[in-house]
Structure 1
């Protein structure tokens, strides 16, 4: 009985926090989304799922987040393997500091940096005009947002994958090399299966972060139609709280659904191996 009381005392703060800061606000948000917006004859959920512009915003958000996640994993994996396999190469600490430096920046600063690099007065546009005479501006569309996502997703992913690569048993790799396996076969047959969990975790983190990113989108969002900006517009510019709440629920459900599918596929792959 004493042990049960002890567990209740330990669990009580977590339960209270869960109820106060997640379950009750989410229930309230879902309830607001079920309300009927002014001038409409159906709930905000029905409006959200029947209006093409909201669907387009959701599709843009999911596609951009998936693309940024895949690109981040493709870039981060070889970088992480190199850093983990060469702990003593000259300049490693400086390189690590530069790679992790973006973690100190909020989304608004990341957006500003993208503008400085690829905006109308940015470095890329200046070089393009000097070399070809044609302007090249990426900052204010999906391409600029994609670059911004890579900027703040890569440091997080590299940290996760480096730890996973360092945890691979080197005896497996040495045994495979002794048996005549080339580097590519060692990577495909040993490293990649061992990194499946880390890649899934890093991909889930990247996707969820990209789906909900607002600061970078807000800074660059003159020609961008993604759900965080749509929710902001409905709430701030149009005072349409039911639609903003419904879109927020849809954003959360879409994120959860993609993460659930990714984790299920990863678990199935792990069982197959």
Structure 2
């Protein structure tokens, strides 16, 4: 190896190391330092004095707090079984049948993704609450408790499970079904031997995703749990209600344990499922009148239930006084009358734009340098570890950790408290992992020869990045932009501890309005977020379809 080549290699390693330092500092500040402070606070009292594991001993000695853990696990398991079972039927109908209205069903089943988790809870109150449309025909039915949380969890998690399982079923090699048909295998035999066998790991992955979402969600438990204690709300009660920050940190670490377990099992299942996946798309399925009619009914029933729950909230925002005066009115959208005005809605839009713009830049840069920068594997592995860590941290826990890390006089981010900057920082970190993994998949498919060719032509790598890599990744960049935008609009748990009087968000206002009994106003603000998210999604779909059409014309 010549001296020049050796020098160039060393220079490349040094530049790669410097480039990786930037995302590493960002991720340590956004994940590592907050978790460190959370851990320190869990072994300290409220005065900051070290007390060892006394908080954990007190936690497990408190039957009420232990019950909250057991309740959370129980509800999450029930939601997991029911939601994944329904989702599998819907996904099977979408992929392996010719049911009626397939494209409409696939679009409508995703509507709960465009609202905060509290939004379906409002619909359940309208339908099954004390003065609900349906509850008046039910005897001894109590929505506020485990039943309500389970119903809310199913509605909230069903779209996530359907998306995962649809992708899993579409990845099954269609040639297996063709071979089975040629060999005379019955439909039931094909279902058990091919569909179930090849989607087992996808089902496991969906189970743990649903479990984690239910276990860590704050909005549903806050609205529908009532006196039924759960971990996510216990953290809020300890911190906001009792100002017991040390116990709040302790409960947060307890909550992290099952979510971390679910995260690792989900990662294992995804890798196993990826080995079974085939790039071929599933071919048209032979029509079967009985099968298609049954699956049309089975698949549209849960979708109709979702639409009823979501639709009744929109309707509730437009009527004068529930449940006595159903006349039409816009008065519920006069948010000034409820003491909030329209500022929370504009705050949500401002934050969504900030997170979408800066989130795309930061996550794309992190993904690119972690894959293409020449640096020791230890450093790239460390970046990847911190990039995936937020996936296993509940939003409520991350928000509380930010208080411990940055709400201190010696913190360089102390001046950011209550500002859009800290909200955007927290939300980008909270949503970092999905964006990072998506960009990894896109950049990983691009030829590394682009950079090699650029260097051989004496073109700087940054120029190759902007002229080649970015244009080739534009569809994914667009997808992540809209993903971050919509999820920021609907987030609750990640920011519930961090907003200020001038930066309160619409999703938090919905929670506060429901607490104060203003159900119609909460429905109006939620409906506004729903319309905004759907409008943004329609723009996304329009741009994607236009891009595909232009590419086809070329």
TM-score (norm 2): 0.44
From 37, 43, 46, the counterpart of 1:34: 43
Measured after TM superposition, the shift of residue 41 of structure 1 is 10
Partner of 1:111: 121
Alignment of 1:1-273 (within 5 A): 1-36=10-45, 43-86=54-97, 89-128=99-138, 135-260=139-264
Q: For residues 57-115 of structure 1, what are the alpha-carbon distances to aligned partners after superposition, in whole Å with 9 as ceiling and x for unaligned? A: 101101111211121111111110111124x6542232223211111110221211121
| Equivalent-residue separation in structure 2 for 1:50 and 1:187 (angstroms) | 49
Measured after TM superposition, the shift of residue 259 of structure 1 is 4.4
User: 1:60–1:226: 8 Å Cα contact kept in structure 2?
Assistant: yes
| Equivalent-residue separation in structure 2 for 1:79 and 1:136 (angstroms) | 31
User: 2:208–2:265: 8 Å Cα contact kept in structure 1?
Assistant: no
User: 1:37–1:44: 8 Å Cα contact kept in structure 2?
Assistant: no
User: 1:200–1:263: 8 Å Cα contact kept in structure 2?
Assistant: no
Relative to structure 1, the CA distance from residue 243 to residue 164 in structure 2 (aligned partners, 3 Å threshold; closer, same or farther) is same
Whose Rg is larger? Answer: 2
| Equivalent-residue separation in structure 1 for 2:83 and 2:55 (angstroms) | 35
SS of aligned partner of 1:195: helix
Relative to structure 1, the CA distance from residue 27 to residue 168 in structure 2 (aligned partners, 3 Å threshold; closer, same or farther) is same
User: 1:124–1:136: 8 Å Cα contact kept in structure 2?
Assistant: no
CA RMSD of aligned residues (A): 2.6
Relative to structure 1, the CA distance from residue 266 to residue 90 in structure 2 (aligned partners, 3 Å threshold; closer, same or farther) is closer
| Equivalent-residue separation in structure 1 for 2:268 and 2:61 (angstroms) | 29
Measured after TM superposition, the shift of residue 20 of structure 1 is 0.7
| Equivalent-residue separation in structure 1 for 2:214 and 2:188 (angstroms) | 31
Instruction: List runs of 5+ in structure 1 lacking aligned partners.
Output: 129-134
Measured after TM superposition, the shift of residue 170 of structure 1 is 1.1
Measured after TM superposition, the shift of residue 258 of structure 1 is 4.4
| Equivalent-residue separation in structure 2 for 1:227 and 1:64 (angstroms) | 11
Q: For residues 228-252 of structure 1, what are the alpha-carbon distances to aligned partners after superposition, in whole Å with 9 as ceiling and x for unaligned? A: 1111111111111100110001100
User: 1:118–1:136: 8 Å Cα contact kept in structure 2?
Assistant: no
User: 2:201–2:272: 8 Å Cα contact kept in structure 1?
Assistant: no
Partner of 2:472: none
User: 2:205–2:270: 8 Å Cα contact kept in structure 1?
Assistant: no
Relative to structure 1, the CA distance from residue 99 to residue 41 in structure 2 (aligned partners, 3 Å threshold; closer, same or farther) is closer
| Equivalent-residue separation in structure 2 for 1:9 and 1:193 (angstroms) | 46
User: 1:107–1:216: 8 Å Cα contact kept in structure 2?
Assistant: yes
User: 2:145–2:224: 8 Å Cα contact kept in structure 1?
Assistant: yes
Partner of 1:132: none
Measured after TM superposition, the shift of residue 266 of structure 1 is 8.6
| Equivalent-residue separation in structure 1 for 2:179 and 2:254 (angstroms) | 49
TM-score (norm 1): 0.86
SS of aligned partner of 2:21: helix
User: 1:99–1:155: 8 Å Cα contact kept in structure 2?
Assistant: yes
Instruction: List runs of 5+ in structure 2 lacking aligned partners.
Output: 1-9, 276-554
User: 2:205–2:269: 8 Å Cα contact kept in structure 1?
Assistant: no
Q: Which has the higher contact order (CA 8 A, sep 6+)?
A: 1
SS of aligned partner of 1:123: coil
| Equivalent-residue separation in structure 2 for 1:164 and 1:261 (angstroms) | 17
